Structure 1
Amino acid sequence: MRRLALTCVGVAVMAIGAGAVRASSPPLERPGDTFETLHSRYDARAADDPDALHLLVQAAMLCREYEPNWKSEPFITSSFRVFGAWQDRFCGGVNRGNDYARYKAIGKTTPWNSPVEKPLTLDEAVEVALTSDSPMRLESAAYAIENGSIRWQLGTGFLRYTNTVPNLGQLQAMAVRSIACRYSGACDAGGMDTMWMCARDRRCTPAITVFGLWATEHSRVEMAAVRSMLQQLMQERERRGADR
């Protein structure tokens, strides 16, 4: 059986806690969306809206290796059956390799997609985490928080007497990525982030979410810490008027 070769678009969106927070306006990806519905909704914005273009690149990426006859392959795993059935619906029976190439080409011509000379500082990343509604900017903030040399104090009290302190940056980033999920809508069951992750890890089930996938990889203490940090972030975002 062929091995699924999915590469993430730009910076990986590995967000959790999608069910914990909800935007007041509809997320970018909505339940039941397909490549065609996303194309119809966002294609006209692709050259001007980084979040719209990222979503379309991701949608095309998930369909660029679609094979209509996948069911005839021998030794299909239960995980691949779930992913293949999702592809049948989402891709509409069409390989989207040409769309993927077109959207990637659009990305190369947009000024906001040029390489960033230096990553966000911790202060800049925290400000984005507390004010932004852009999934891409929130992901950039999460990346800076996780990989920066200076540690954020969020959650340190909760973790002080546990053995998870070395993972603080990662857990903080997971909390921020949870907010990105709120606006992308890609982390619920059948969402694009969920399907990319479960296909990569070969753990797709009909009801799996990104949160569920991460919960199998992190301890209960870690997951509790992420939820605690997410709650603090959401309270501060509401105080600032970012979420109403």
Structure 2
Amino acid sequence: MPWLLALCFVCLAIVFRLAGQAVADPVRGALAPVVDSRRGSGEAKRPIVSARRHVAPLSARGHASSGSINPDGYLIPGDDFSAIERRLAERVTYDDRALFVMLNAAGSCSTPVKPDWRTNSRTESGRTFLAWKEWFCHGRTTANEFHAYAAMTLESFKTRHEDWNDKDDDDGNRLVFEAVFSSDSPEDMSLAGDLVDLPGLGRWALGAEDVEGTAHAARLPRYQQVALEGLQCSQLGGCGPNDLLTMWLCVRPPALGCRVGESVDDMWATEFAPDEIAIIARIQQRILDERARRIASSSSKD
């Protein structure tokens, strides 16, 4: 696949991450009002699976989960930008996960919070995000840092997939989807999640057998996206109440809406029925199984 196309995909993914802030801040974004897509107005449902009680992304009951496999100190409950920067900034040159976290953390603070956000924010999700952002950034603006981390992300992507130089145009975004099976880079998973439902691109067949014959076939791209998001949560942490990745997913397209104190699991419990959660869990497991198969195959050849 030509490098121009590959890098365009990565740039597009970075733009998607910033788009959520425009949704949250109507003063900055010339967007129509966004309505929270919540079912009901009562208290948030209990999480499907605790964000930190389990050590695998799938519970014994087959529920999709944002539980931590190996957070390795990437994101810790109560982290603000300064805490994340102190812990991870020095690791970004050699650790893709640290770079991914710093890109998202700096992106959160890349623009200042408007002083009148409490009166101008049109949605509960927007108010939730901006209140968190005000606390997370503590008045600091990190546009320069964000641009630097974005440039490093592009370089890291090129290094990680330098063999793509020899691929044909016909390979298209298939290479991005295939990378999920051979790489546990959170950036690769994020990019694949951004491309699953992008108009004009080929669809990913992963999980097609899980929705065949159900009423959910049209939602397969969304299930694929959420399965990947869950694996990111498992790698990094940061998906509990008021955590970094939770807040990104709160407003990042598709903006589902969130309330104060919700975790990623809570948002999923609101969006998906139990049978949909089971489909997402199976897709997660297919990814993990294929990764394990490829690792075993590679080891047997050594």
Q: 1:208 aligned to 2:262?
A: yes
Deviation at 1:204, TM superposition (A): 3.4
Q: 1:61 aligned to 2:116?
A: no
Q: 1:227 aligned to 2:232?
A: no
- Judged with a 3 Å threshold, the aligned counterparts in structure 2 of structure 1 residues 113 and 162 are, in CA distance, closer, same or farther, namely same
TM-score (normalised: structure 1): 0.70
Taking the TM superposition and a 5 Å limit, the aligned residue runs for 1:98-109 are 98-107=144-153
Aligned partner of 1:112 among 154, 159, 162: 159
Aligned partner of 1:139 among 190, 196, 203: 190
Task: Look up the SS of the partner of 1:74 in the other structure.
Answer: helix
Deviation at 1:229, TM superposition (A): 3.4
Taking the TM superposition and a 5 Å limit, the aligned residue runs for 1:155-170 are 156=209, 158-170=210-222
What is the letter of the counterpart of residue 74 of structure 1?
T
Structure 2 distance, partners of 1:232, 1:202, is: 25
* Aligned position for 1:9: 14
Residues 135, 180 of structure 1: 8 Å contact kept: yes
- Judged with a 3 Å threshold, the aligned counterparts in structure 2 of structure 1 residues 238 and 112 are, in CA distance, closer, same or farther, namely closer
Deviation at 1:98, TM superposition (A): 2.8
Aligned-CA RMSD value: 4.1
Unaligned residue ranges in structure 1 (runs of 5+): 1-6
Deviation at 1:63, TM superposition (A): 0.9
Alpha-carbon displacement from aligned partner over 1:202-225 (angstroms, at most 9, x marks no partner):
833122233433444444432331
TM-score (normalised: structure 2): 0.58
Structure 1 distance, partners of 2:284, 2:81, is: 31
Residues 18, 185 of structure 1: 8 Å contact kept: no
- Judged with a 3 Å threshold, the aligned counterparts in structure 2 of structure 1 residues 121 and 205 are, in CA distance, closer, same or farther, namely same
Deviates more, 1:114-123 or 1:24-33: 114-123
Alpha-carbon displacement from aligned partner over 1:8-53 (angstroms, at most 9, x marks no partner):
62676xxx98832321453522211111122112222223333322
Structure 2 distance, partners of 1:155, 1:183, is: 25
Deviates more, 1:54-63 or 1:79-88: 79-88
Alpha-carbon displacement from aligned partner over 1:148-185 (angstroms, at most 9, x marks no partner):
45623x462x4333121243344234323321221122
The total of aligned residue pairs comes to 229
Q: 1:184 aligned to 2:236?
A: yes
Structure 1 distance, partners of 2:72, 2:138, is: 23
* Aligned position for 1:4: none
Percent of matched pairs sharing the same residue: 26
- Judged with a 3 Å threshold, the aligned counterparts in structure 2 of structure 1 residues 101 and 139 are, in CA distance, closer, same or farther, namely closer
What is the letter of the counterpart of residue 112 of structure 1?
T
* Aligned position for 1:3: none
Residues 71, 237 of structure 2: 8 Å contact kept: no
* Aligned position for 1:198: 250
- Judged with a 3 Å threshold, the aligned counterparts in structure 2 of structure 1 residues 170 and 104 are, in CA distance, closer, same or farther, namely closer
* Aligned position for 1:45: 91
What is the letter of the counterpart of residue 119 of structure 2?
P
Deviation at 1:91, TM superposition (A): 0.7
What is the letter of the counterpart of residue 98 of structure 2?
A
Unaligned residue ranges in structure 2 (runs of 5+): 1-11, 18-47, 52-64, 166-171, 297-302
